[in-house]
Amino acid sequence: MAKKASGQWKGQDRRGSASQRGYGAPWRRLRKRILQRDLHLCQPCLSRSRTTAADAVDHIINKASATADEMITLDGVRMHFDDERNLQAICNECHKAKTAREGNGGKPKPEIGIDGWPLT
């Protein structure tokens, strides 16, 4: 009889920050598909005529803006929050800037100037 290892995850790592909670294998597959679709190029950079390798996949409309049933409206079209049309490849730099803009829970956060004080 094989000894039963207790408390051991079977190749599963469900840790992660609060914002990543709930992103399992389906999300990883979706993420890979978006990166392939966007040719691993950061889309916000691309729109500014810059070619940057993407590191992540981003929701164009923040989850905080989704309704309780996880629906969002993008370009006047109602769709699920995880719809491929609401996803884009993004680089670390753009992702950080976008997250900072959106803030936690979608609350607008003041931009911080180079002196460390919020710009008002």
Q: What is the DSSP letter of 110?
A: P
Q: Please give the Cα distance from 6 to 18 (Å, whole number).
A: 26
**Closest CB to Zn ion among residues 43, 86:** 43
Strand pairing partners for 3?
A: none
**Closest CB to Zn ion among residues 57, 66:** 57
Question: Which DSSP helix (H) or strand (E) runs through 78?
Answer: strand 77-80
Binding to Zn ion in span 1-60, by CB under 5 A: 42, 44-45, 52
| Total residues interacting with Zn ion, rule: CB under 5 A | 6
Site string for Zn ion, 81-110 (x = CB under 5 A): ----------x--x----------------
- What's the closest the beta carbon of residue 56 comes to Zn ion, in angstroms? 10
Comparing CA positions, the residue from 110, 27, 33 lying closest to residue 63 is: 27
Comparing CA positions, the residue from 30, 97, 45 lying closest to residue 22 is: 30
Query: Does 61 participate in binding Zn ion (rule CB under 5 A)?
Result: no
Instruction: Give residues in contact with Zn ion (CB under 5 A).
Output: 42, 44-45, 52, 91, 94
